[in-house]
Amino acid sequence: MINQVSIFAANTKGAMHKITSTLAGSDINISALVTNDSAEYGIIRMITSDPELSQKVLTEAGYLCQLTPVVGVQISDDVGGLDKLLADVTHSNVNVDYIYISYMRDDRDVVAILHTEGAAEVELMLRGRGWTVV
């Protein structure tokens, strides 16, 4: 299981740069990132090299920030790779709240990041079905 950093931030000019500068200043690498926005605020979800330190420095910088357990699953980088994963998830009666895709930097494998209820149980189910969980 992976701890995702979730940040609630104002949707203003330069807000994302302030967040990335805060993390870079603490030598924290971002390996995956997705944003959802509204007119005034946005939720930024990211996987970082040190989620606990990320939460600490972002909170100290004035952001509302929390750690959320997610499951990272290696998928094939070809047609139907994500579909095969989602078929197993669906057949196991698991609801996916949201999903985003990233690449592992070391070997360029594709990773699907899943947020589900009961992430630990979902991780065990996926391992049992032969998936590589990161």
Count structural domains, the chain.
2
Residue 56 contacts residue 70 (beta carbons within 8 Å)? no
- Structure confidence at residue 106 (pLDDT): 66
Is 94 found in the same domain as 61?
A: no
Mean pLDDT (the chain, rounded): 92
Average pLDDT over residues 38-48: 87
Q: Which of 68, 92, 110 is the last residue of a domain?
A: 68
Residue 5 contacts residue 65 (beta carbons within 8 Å)? yes
For residue range 73-105, what is the model confidence (pLDDT) as tens digits?
999 888 999 999 999 999 999 999 999 999 876
Q: Which of 25, 49, 68 is the last residue of a domain?
A: 68
- Structure confidence at residue 70 (pLDDT): 97
Q: Is residue 79 part of a domain?
A: yes
Is 54 found in the same domain as 30?
A: yes
In the predicted structure, residue 128 carries a pLDDT above the cut 70: yes
- Structure confidence at residue 41 (pLDDT): 84
For residue range 17-41, what is the model confidence (pLDDT) as tens digits?
999 999 999 999 999 999 987 778 8
Q: Which of 24, 42, 68 is the last residue of a domain?
A: 68
Is 86 found in the same domain as 48?
A: no
